[in-house]
């Protein structure tokens, strides 16, 4: 089982014509749902309110087949992210978010995934870091998706330190080129990714570049893969689908086995990982909202 920790909320998506739709979302929730749809047993630890929107979130997660440890928010309200789509279907976000997750014991699991606002916002951030520490003490594989939002960055130097500090504790780190520019606007995104590879536990760093593909950075070298042509509907949840595609493949490869993780880092291995993850993201981009594919919807032989 993979445990995913982070925010769960309602995405209000406003299209270029101004028409809104509401669906459950949040990066960690999307990753958890994506994993279950790829037939990887998953538990999501998050927060929701005692309101109608919270009920929608719980129903969405549990009906997908994931277990949901839902901690109530202090306000009783479920968090909301408003995504506004431009003419190219790219999304920009505004948030009304509470993240006050209390400390808890990490359930038995093969891997822990953390990321997004849950690793950035206090006071819940400290509980996420404590779970990462518990995972490290048990030699449990940890993955991290930075997934930063500029509206939550009030001190860029502090955020950079936090990202680097958390990244060094993780076997897999994923970030986008936009994340890299938020971490250090003066640096080349590739150099930001390389700096994250310096962690003692870090075996693989993946830098996504939207329509330009993605690059895998390992101790053995760097591999870049471009995606297939996509019939774009929107980009909501694409990065989360990519993340779930990576983790599902690593689960298939038994890369989380103990006593230590064995992430494949050869050029052929990383090419396959990137292609498989990009296919999951591509299908998500061809649908409205964060709706990752089920395993049977992927091409025969995926991820080859």
User: Is 302 inside a domain boundary?
Assistant: no
How does residue 262 score in pLDDT terms, banded at 50, 70 and 90? low
User: Is 123 inside a domain boundary?
Assistant: yes
Number of domains in the chain: 1
User: Is 304 inside a domain boundary?
Assistant: no
What pLDDT does residue 120 have? Answer: 93
User: Is 303 inside a domain boundary?
Assistant: no
Q: What tokens does 38 get?
A: 């790829």
Task: Tell whether the model's pLDDT for residue 259 goes beyond 50.
Answer: no
Q: What tokens does 229 get?
A: 């042509």
pLDDT, tens digit, for every residue of 92-144? Answer: 778 888 999 999 999 999 999 999 999 999 999 999 999 999 999 999 999 99
| Half-sphere exposure for 26 (CA within 13 Å, toward CB) | 34
Average pLDDT on 150-170 reads 92
Average pLDDT on 3-27 reads 88
What mean pLDDT is reported for the chain?
A: 92
pLDDT, tens digit, for every residue of 180-208? Answer: 999 999 999 999 999 999 888 999 999 99
CATH number at residue 8: 3.40.1190.20
What pLDDT does residue 89 have? Answer: 66
pLDDT, tens digit, for every residue of 34-93? Answer: 999 999 999 999 999 999 999 999 999 999 999 999 999 999 999 998 878 777 767 677
Task: Tell whether the model's pLDDT for residue 294 goes beyond 70.
Answer: yes
Residue given tokens 């995606």 in the structure block: 227
Average pLDDT on 208-226 reads 94
Average pLDDT on 222-251 reads 93
User: Is 213 inside a domain boundary?
Assistant: yes
Q: Which domain holds residue 93?
A: 2-293
First to last CA, the chain: 24
Task: Tell whether the model's pLDDT for residue 251 goes beyond 50.
Answer: yes
User: Is 57 inside a domain boundary?
Assistant: yes
Contacts for 292-298: CB closer than 8 Å, 24+ residues apart: 292/30, 292/33, 292/34, 292/37, 292/38, 292/237, 292/240, 292/241, 292/244, 293/37, 293/241, 294/37, 294/38, 295/37, 295/38, 295/39, 295/248
Average pLDDT on 20-47 reads 95
């Amino acid at each position: 089982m993979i445990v995913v920790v982070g925010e769960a909320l309602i995405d209000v998506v406003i299209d270029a014509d101004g028409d809104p739709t509401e669906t459950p979302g949040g990066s960690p929730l999307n990753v958890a749902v994506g994993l279950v749809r790829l037939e990887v047993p998953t538990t999501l630890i998050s927060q929701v309110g005692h309101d109608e929107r919270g009920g929608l979130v719980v129903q969405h997660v549990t009906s997908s087949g994931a277990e949901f440890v839902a901690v109530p928010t202090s306000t009783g309200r479920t968090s909301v992210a408003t995504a506004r789509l431009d003419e190219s279907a790219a999304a920009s976000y505004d948030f009304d978010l509470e993240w006050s997750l209390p400390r808890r014991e990490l359930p038995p699991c093969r891997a822990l995934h953390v990321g997004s606002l849950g690793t950035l916002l206090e006071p819940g951030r400290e509980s996420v870091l404590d779970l990462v520490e518990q995972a490290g003490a048990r030699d449990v594989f940890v993955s991290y998706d930075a997934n930063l939002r500029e509206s939550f960055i009030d001190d860029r130097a502090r955020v950079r330190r936090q990202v680097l500090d958390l990244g060094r504790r993780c076997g897999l780190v994923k970030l986008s080129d936009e994340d890299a520019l938020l971490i250090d606007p003066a640096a080349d995104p590739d150099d930001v990714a390389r700096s994250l590879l310096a962690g003692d536990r870090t075996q693989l760093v993946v830098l996504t570049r939207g329509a330009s593909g993605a690059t895998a950075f390992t101790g053995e070298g760097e591999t870049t893969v471009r995606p297939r042509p996509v019939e774009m509907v929107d980009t909501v949840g694409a990065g989360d689908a990519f993340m779930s595609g990576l983790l599902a493949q690593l689960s298939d490869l038994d890369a989380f086995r103990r006593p230590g993780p064995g992430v494949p880092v050869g050029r052929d291995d990383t090419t396959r990982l990137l292609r498989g993850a990009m296919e999951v993201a591509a299908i998500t981009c061809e649908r409205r909202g964060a709706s990752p594919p089920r395993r049977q919807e992927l091409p025969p032989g995926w991820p080859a």
